[in-house]
Amino acid sequence: MLIDLILILPLTSILLSLLFRWSVVLGATLAFFNLALLIFGIVLAFNIETTGPVTAIDATFYADSLSSFMVIVIGLISFLSSLFSIRFSIKELAKNQSTLLEISRYTLLTQIFIFTMLFAVVSSSVAMIWVAVEATTIATTFLVGFRKNKKALEASWKYIIICSVGVGLAFVGTLFFYFASAHIGGPISSSRPVSLDWTFLIKNSKKLNPQIIKFGFGFILLGYGTKTGLAPMHSWLPDAHSQAPAPVSALMSGVLITVAFYTILRFKAITDIAVGRWFSQDLLIAVGLLSLLLATSLLITQKEIKRMLAYHSIEHMALIALGAAAGSEIAIAAVLLHILGHGLVKAILFIASGEMLITEGSTEIAKLKSLLTHKPLLGGIFGVGLLALLGLPPFSLFTSEFAMMKSEISVGLGWVVGISLVLMAVIFGVVVSHARHILVGESSGRQTLKTSKLSNPIRASRLTTTPLVLGLILSAAIGVVSWPLQTLLLSAAKVISG
Amino acid sequence: MHLLFYSFLVGSIGSFASLVLTKKYRNKFASFCVVLEGLICSYESLSIISSGKTTTFNSNQLLPFFGIRLSLDPLSAYFILITSLLAIAVGIYQLGYIRHSTKAKTPTFIYPFFFTSMVLVPISNSVATFMASWEIMAITSILLVLTDHAKNNNSGHATQWYALMTHLGAASIFIGFLILSLGTKHQQFSSIVMSSSSLSTIEKSLAFFLLFIGFASKAGATPFHVWLPRAHPQAPSPVSAMMSGAMVNLGIYGIIKTGMTLIKVSEGWWWIVVIAIGTISAIYGALQCVTNSDIKKLLAYSTIDNVGLMIIGIGASGLLATAKDEKFALFMISGVLFQMLAHSIFKGLLFLSAGSIQYSTGSLNLDQLGGLLKKIPLTSTCLLIGAFSISALPPFSGFSSEWVLFEGLFRSILHLSGVNRLAVLFGLSGFALASGLTATAFVKTTGIGLLGVARSSHAETAKEVPPTMLFSTFLLALSCLVIGIVPGYFLKLTMKSSQLLFPAKKLSPNFKYGSIDLPNLATNIDPLLLLVLFTIALLMILLLLKAAIKRKVRITNSWGCGNEYSNSKTQYTATSFAEPLQRVFADVIRPDQDLVVSHVEESRFYVNNITYSNLSQDSIERFVYVPIKRAVTTWGKFASQMQNGSTHRYLSLGFIVLLIVILVLS
Amino acid sequence: MTVFSFTTSLLQLIFILACAPLLNGIMLKLKARAERRVGPPIFQTFFDLAKLFKKERLRSQNASIFSALAPVVLISSTVVVIIVSPILSTQELFKTSGDLFAIVFILLVGSLMIALLGLDPGTPFGGLGSSRAMTISSLSEPALLVSIVAISIQAKSTNLSTIVSANLSHPIWLVSPPHLLAIFALLIVIFAEAGRIPVDNPATHLELTMIYEAMILESSGEDLALIKLGEFMRFTLLLLIVANLFFPFGIDTQANWIQLILSSGISLIKLTILGSLVTLLEVTQAKLRLFRVPELLAGAFVLAVLAVISEFVA
Amino acid sequence: MTTNYFSMTYLFSGTVLVCAIIALWRKDIKAIIYSVAFHGVALGIVGFSEGLSRHDLALVQAGIETFILKGIVFPILIFRIFNRSGGQRDVEPLINTTASMLYTSLFIGIPFFSIGRLPYIASSPQSKLVPIGFATLLVGFYILITRRRIISQIVGLIIFENGISLIAFLLISGLPLLVELGESLDVLLVVIVLRVLAITIQSRIGNVDLAEMKELHD
Q: Computed from CA positions of residues B154, B156, B159, B160, in that sequence, does the dihedral angle turn out positive or negative?
A: negative
- Residues D43-96 have pLDDT tens digits of 999 988 888 888 888 888 888 989 999 999 999 998 888 888 776 666 778 888
CB contact under 8 A, C127 and B549: no
Chains C and B touch (3+ CB pairs under 8 A): yes
Distance from CA of D177 to the nearest CA of A (A): 6
**Across the A/B interface, how many CB contacts are shorter than 8 Å?**
194
The answer for D87, left when phi > 0, alpha when psi is -120 to 50, beta otherwise, is left
Distance from CA of B206 to the nearest CA of A (A): 13
Query: What SS3 state is found at C251?
Result: coil
- Residues C84-127 have pLDDT tens digits of 888 888 877 766 667 889 999 999 999 999 999 999 988 888 89
The radius of gyration of chain C from alpha carbons, rounded to an integer in Å, stands at 19
Of B422, B448, B584, the CB nearest to C119: B448
Of residues D123 and A354, more confidence is placed in A354
D103 interfacial to chain B (CB closer than 8 Å): no
List, in sequence order, every residue forming a beta bridge with A326; answer none if it has no partner: none
Q: Which pLDDT value is given to residue A18?
A: 92
CB contact under 8 A, C122 and B452: yes
Q: Chain B interface, mutation test: which of A432, A483, A491, most B Cβ atoms within 10 Å?
A: A432
Distance from CA of D142 to the nearest CA of B (A): 8
Q: CA-to-CA distance for B147 and C211, rounded, in angstroms?
A: 45
CB contact under 8 A, D204 and A150: yes
Closest-approach residue (CA) in chain A for D166? A172
| HEC secondary structure over B67-123 | CEEEEECHHHHHHHHHHHHHHHHHHHHHHHHHHHHCCCCHHHHHHHHHHHHHHHHHH
Distance from CA of B59 to the nearest CA of A (A): 10
Task: Show which subunits contact D, needing at least 3 CB pairs below 8 angstroms.
Answer: A, B
List, in sequence order, every residue forming a beta bridge with B126; answer none if it has no partner: B188
* Span A367-386, average pLDDT: 86
Nearest alpha-carbon partner for A47 in A34, A58, A56: A56
- Is D2 in contact with D32 (CB distance < 8 Å)? no
Q: CA-to-CA distance for D85 and A358, rounded, in angstroms?
A: 36
- Residues in D touching A155 (Cβ below 8 Å): 216
- Residues C117-156 have pLDDT tens digits of 999 988 888 899 999 999 999 999 999 999 999 999 888 8
* Span B216-228, average pLDDT: 91
Q: CA-to-CA distance for C31 and C203, rounded, in angstroms?
A: 12
CB contact under 8 A, C77 and B545: no
- Is D104 in contact with B611 (CB distance < 8 Å)? no
CB contact under 8 A, C157 and B521: yes
CB contact under 8 A, A209 and D157: no
**Residues 6+ positions from A60 with CB-CB distance below 8 Å:** A123, A124, A125, A128, A192, D178
Task: Show which subunits contact C, needing at least 3 CB pairs below 8 angstroms.
Answer: B
* Span A142-154, average pLDDT: 90
A410 interfacial to chain D (CB closer than 8 Å): no
CB contact under 8 A, B659 and D218: no
Amino acid at position B564, single letter:
E
Distance from CA of D42 to the nearest CA of A (A): 20
Task: Provide φ and ψ at B529, rounded to 5°.
Answer: -65, -45
A313 interfacial to chain D (CB closer than 8 Å): no
ipTM here: 0.90
- Is C115 in contact with C215 (CB distance < 8 Å)? yes
A428 interfacial to chain B (CB closer than 8 Å): yes
Q: Chain C interface, mutation test: which of B305, B312, B443, most C Cβ atoms within 10 Å?
A: B443
CB contact under 8 A, D218 and B663: no
- Residues B271-321 have pLDDT tens digits of 999 999 999 999 999 999 998 889 999 999 999 999 999 999 999 999 999
Residue B587's Cα: distance from chain center in Å? 26
A158 interfacial to chain D (CB closer than 8 Å): yes
A211 interfacial to chain D (CB closer than 8 Å): yes
CB contact under 8 A, C142 and B432: yes
Q: CA-to-CA distance for C64 and C62, rounded, in angstroms?
A: 7
- CB contacts under 8 A, A 191-210 vs D, are 191-193, 196, 209
* Span B442-460, average pLDDT: 90
- Residues C249-263 have pLDDT tens digits of 888 888 888 888 889
- Is B295 in contact with B366 (CB distance < 8 Å)? yes
Percent of chain C topping pLDDT 90: 45
CB contact under 8 A, A157 and D56: no
Task: Provide φ and ψ at C71, rounded to 5°.
Answer: -60, -40
Of C106, C112, C118, the CB nearest to B391: C112
- Is A247 in contact with A85 (CB distance < 8 Å)? yes
A92 burial (CB, 10 Å; 0-12 / 13-18 / 19+) is buried
- Residues A410-465 have pLDDT tens digits of 888 889 999 999 999 999 989 988 888 888 866 544 444 444 444 555 777 888 88
- Residues B56-72 have pLDDT tens digits of 999 988 888 888 999 99
Q: Which pLDDT value is given to residue B472?
A: 94
Chains C and A touch (3+ CB pairs under 8 A): no
Q: Which pLDDT value is given to residue A457?
A: 59
Task: Show which subunits contact B, needing at least 3 CB pairs below 8 angstroms.
Answer: A, C, D
Distance from CA of B85 to the nearest CA of D (A): 52
| HEC secondary structure over A286-353 | HHHHHHHHHHHHHHCCCCEHHHHHHHHHHHHHHHHHHHHHHCCHHHHHHHHHHHHHHHHHHHHHHHHH
Distance from CA of D198 to the nearest CA of B (A): 15
- Is A478 in contact with A393 (CB distance < 8 Å)? no
Q: CA-to-CA distance for B575 and B455, rounded, in angstroms?
A: 13
Task: Show which subunits contact A, needing at least 3 CB pairs below 8 angstroms.
Answer: B, D
Nearest alpha-carbon partner for A27 in A71, A78, A73, A77: A78
Q: CA-to-CA distance for A238 and A309, rounded, in angstroms?
A: 8
How many Cα atoms sit within 13 Å of C118 on the Cβ side?
A: 28
- What is the band of A192 on the pLDDT scale with cuts at 50, 70, 90? low
Q: CA-to-CA distance for B220 and B238, rounded, in angstroms?
A: 19
Q: CA-to-CA distance for A179 and A191, rounded, in angstroms?
A: 17
Q: Judge whether residue B565 has pLDDT over 70.
A: no
Residue B101's Cα: distance from chain center in Å? 23
Length of chain B: 666
- Residues A89-115 have pLDDT tens digits of 999 999 888 899 999 999 999 999 999
CB contact under 8 A, B645 and D214: yes
Closest-approach residue (CA) in chain B for C144? B432
Of B643, B655, B662, the CB nearest to D114: B662
- CB contacts under 8 A, A 172-191 vs D, are 172, 175-176, 178-180, 182-183, 188-191
- What is the band of C202 on the pLDDT scale with cuts at 50, 70, 90? confident
Query: What SS3 state is found at C206?
Result: coil
Q: CA-to-CA distance for D112 and D128, rounded, in angstroms?
A: 9
Between CA B110 and CA B117, with CA B111 as vertex, the angle to 5 degrees is 90
Q: Judge whether residue B644 has pLDDT over 90.
A: no
Chains A and B touch (3+ CB pairs under 8 A): yes
Q: Which pLDDT value is given to residue D87?
A: 62
Q: CA-to-CA distance for C63 and C119, rounded, in angstroms?
A: 9
Q: CA-to-CA distance for B572 and C130, rounded, in angstroms?
A: 10
